[in-house]
Amino acid sequence: MTDRDENLFEAAEPPPWVNQGGRQRMRSFGFLHGVRALDGRAFGSISLFPNRPDVIEAGRGRLFIAGSVFAIAFTVVSVKLVDASLYDPKRTVQISAGFAEETPLAPILRADLVDRRGDMIATSLPVASLCARPKLIRDPAAAAHAVAFVLPNTNAATLQAQLERGKDFVWLHRHITPTQHDQLMDLGIPGLCFEKEQRRVYPQGGLASHVAGFADLDGKGLSGVERKFDELLNERGQPFALSVDLTVQRIVREEVQKAMDRFQAIGGVGVLMQADTAEVIAMVSLPDFDANDAGAAADDARFNRATLGVYEMGSTFKIFTAAMALEAGHAKLLTRFDASKPLKIGRFTIRDFQAKNRWLTVEEIMIHSSNIGAARMAEMSGPGGQRAFMGKLGMLQPVALEVSDVGSPLKPRRWGDTAMLTIAFGHGLAVTPIHMTAAVSALVNGGIYRQPTVVKRLPGEAAQGKRIVSEKVSDDVRWLMRQVVVNGTGRKADTAFYPVGGKTGTAEKARGRGGYDKNQKLASFIASFPIHDPKYVLLVMVDEPKGRKDTYGYATGGWVAAPAVKAIIERSGPALGLEPIGPEHPARQTAILSIKKRPKEKR
């Protein structure tokens, strides 16, 4: 273009494209208004050259040139659009005066996660993310400092390095706020671009983080239900209902946290399961994490103690030992076993915590939590019978729960006599809290085992299940659990209006080099309520509690976990719609709740 040609674009007012806050606007104008002729004379309209053929021809030439310029410009824009489409078919590009803004095609939002009442657990919101076309950035240093001023969590030097790489496309910051989006637009920096995305948001924070899990910036599930149903959630338009109840979840979390704080524990678990359907109503693992910022969480907080952690559960296993003996016909409630002295096997000696030093009935073995009595009961079935019964209860395989992190039980290498005797009172076989809760649910619901689930079931939609014990044995197990609460080590778990049955457990934690550490314990309590008509099973486990003066230095299941169970049942009963069972309620006359002892059985 010559100097004379450049004069065509000299004007008394600003150029037609003006930058107003980063948004390019074009003002309509006449091409001949306020410009100069080729000979340097100013003119305002074509009336300066009336009826002259050479002027008309000159005008046609200029129109041809202008049309050619616009055609070339549109061609360049079209090529850029094709290039952008090939680069990422999910994006389209809008270019205005050198300012490129990327806009995706309509995204498919990931399905919401809701609890059994329809309350929100996870949802996806449309957000913008900041990107750039470095080749269009004229001053990377200035652009980087301007962006860093708007986004305080970014580093100007890092941004500048990204802009100087010479790539066609780079991400600068994912998921910015609407205010930040407007501020960045107002910078008016050519080459910055924005992409519309979706961000996974967890309104409950850490309340259900181990159930729901979390997704990454691209919406891909990384843990929990988010990972297990990743593809389904991206395809499903309707909300996906989980079995958890957020109201009950919050109660369980608060009470387990209180127990941890009171006994200075390092962790805790709370699992509440519906006994007849095996639906998980609440599942808490503490410490937990905010699912909105999972990357900042410590490994211990992301570890799901309820489904991934495997533990030797201690005396809670005596429920299984008693059920096994009753189902096999090796014992009845009043059958007696010799617990008069410690039981020696090889170099090991089995003792009772508070020894009675006499023969005990099955009922007394449960009430006093006798290790010796439980071992004697297991002898009746033998190693093979015990292993088969544990297998029927699902204790030898990972639980098929719809979360990503599920632990495998730790079984003895050789299931011989020694393993049989120790497993009878909860040592030698390590399982997850979900294993424990599902197995006890089967023993109290009439004898049917069902795979636990975190997906809401419709009424009548419960899985078929398989029978483990007879209804008579199920009744006997509930009777034994009730006696533990009324007369035994679980007294602190009972409530006034929701009768409880259960079993305490205190287990020393295994050391890495073998053996057990007496200073590191797991205190637990497994409960069913209301025990005369069991609707729910609740497990509370506290990891490494410390004794207190007001507990006489004890940090056992009866002192640590049982009070937490009581508080959870009292608070969650109304939320679960349970009818209070007061002193005058007819249910108090049922065999399990009656204060009268059962008739003596023939041996």
* Two structure tokens written together for 427: 């040592």
- Give CA angle at 472 (469, 478), nearest 5°: 85
Q: How far apart are CA 584 and CA 278, in angstroms?
A: 31
Maximum Cα–Cα distance for the chain, whole Å? Answer: 131
* Two structure tokens written together for 232: 């389904």
Cα 65 to the center of its chain, rounded Å: 64
Helix axes 246-262, 557-575, angle to 10 degrees: 160
Per the CB < 8 A criterion, the answer to whether 249 and 207 are in contact is yes
| Collapsed DSSP state (helix, strand, coil) of residue 2 | coil
Per the CB < 8 A criterion, the answer to whether 420 and 382 are in contact is yes
Residue carrying the six token digits 């009424």: 459
Per the CB < 8 A criterion, the answer to whether 587 and 581 are in contact is yes
Positive or negative, the Cα torsion across 496, 271, 234, 126? positive
In 425-490, where do the E strands start and end?
Answer: 448-449, 466-467
Backbone angles phi and psi of 359, in degrees to 5: -70, 140
Nearest to 481 by CA among 464, 465, 504: 504
Catalytic residue among 315, 369, 370, 404: 315
Per the CB < 8 A criterion, the answer to whether 102 and 131 are in contact is yes
Q: How far apart are CA 222 and CA 171, in angstroms?
A: 21
Active site residue 524: no
Q: Which residues contact 303 (CB under 8 A, 6 or more apart)?
A: 285, 309
The three-state DSSP-derived secondary structure of 360-425 is EEHHHHHHCCCHHHHHHHHHHHHHHHHHHHHHHCCCCCCCCCCCCCCCCCECCCCCCHHHHHHHCC
Sort strands 348-350 and 343-345 into parallel, antiparallel or unpaired. Answer: antiparallel
Q: How far apart are CA 329 and CA 95, in angstroms?
A: 82
| Collapsed DSSP state (helix, strand, coil) of residue 509 | strand
* Two structure tokens written together for 268: 């805790």
Per the CB < 8 A criterion, the answer to whether 498 and 531 are in contact is no
Per the CB < 8 A criterion, the answer to whether 103 and 91 are in contact is yes
Name the β-bridge partners of 104: 91
Distances (CA, A) of 301 to 35, 75, 317, 495, 543: 71, 56, 27, 32, 14
The residues that are catalytic are 315
